[in-house]
A and B are shown apart, each in its own frame.
Chain A
Amino acid sequence: KAGVTQTPRYLIKTRGQQVTLSCSPISGHRSVSWYQQTPGQGLQFLFEYFSETQRNKGNFPGRFSGRQFSNSRSEMNVSTLELGDSALYLCASSLGYPGTSGYNEQFFGPGTRLTVL
């Protein structure tokens, strides 16, 4: 079974630009979560989508947004990029049924490394 895929793997942008990152979950997984990882802050939760609906949201500004499509693929968008947005952006998928043991293991994609100049 194919794992979680993310595109692009690397991205260089300048301040003020916007960026869209894509994530394809493991086949059959309906939940997709996005995380930002930086050396100083560790793994920070951005948002989670399940069946095209945002189910959870972290403490990030409105410049960070996302969506999920009917095939469970997800995109996240960052508008008006700032230098501090430079990070590894990770997508993780799970079957997505919280409260049920064994159905909520998350598997990560390889990540998109975003550099903002």
Chain B
Amino acid sequence: QKEVEQNSGPLSVPEGAIASLNCTYSDRGSQSFFWYRQYSGKSPELIMSIYSNGDKEDGRFTAQLNKASQYVSLLIRDSQPSDSATYLCAVLTSGTYKYIFGTGTRLKVLA
């Protein structure tokens, strides 16, 4: 079982729509969760971090965390073509404090 799982996509959404990206993780003790955006040929860029159950909003981005279900998601409102990228979910595991990354979901926003 992979430690952090994401659907590889591509996830295609029309411009202006809400894009919903999902991630599940296996380490029940994990406390820190991150979303990164990576454009083709570039390095990952931190978008959001979330540590508590519930929602955390930052501009057009909302991260949602449900530790009981071991599930974290990222919503992008009013999606723009410039949001087209691969989105990586990362989890900081308990105990060993290793960052484990999912393989990423490729998002395509259609103009």
Interface positions of A (Cβ within 8 A of B): 33, 35, 42-43, 45, 48, 55-56, 58, 88, 90, 92, 98-99, 101-102, 104-111
Chain B residue numbers with a CB within 8 Å of A55 are: 97
Contact indicator B99/A106 (Cβ below 8 Å): yes
Contact of A104 among B32, B45, B102 (CB under 8 A): B32
A101 touches B101 (CB 8 A): no
> Considering only CB atoms and an 8 Å cut-off, how many residues of chain B contact the other chain?
23
Task: Decide if B74 is an interface residue (CB 8 Å cutoff).
Answer: no
- The 24 listed contacts between A and B (C-beta, < 8 Å) are A33-B99, A35-B101, A42-B101, A43-B44, A43-B101, A45-B98, A45-B99, A48-B98, A56-B96, A56-B98, A88-B43, A90-B43, A98-B92, A99-B31, A99-B97, A101-B31, A102-B49, A102-B51, A104-B92, A106-B46, A106-B99, A108-B36, A108-B43, A110-B43
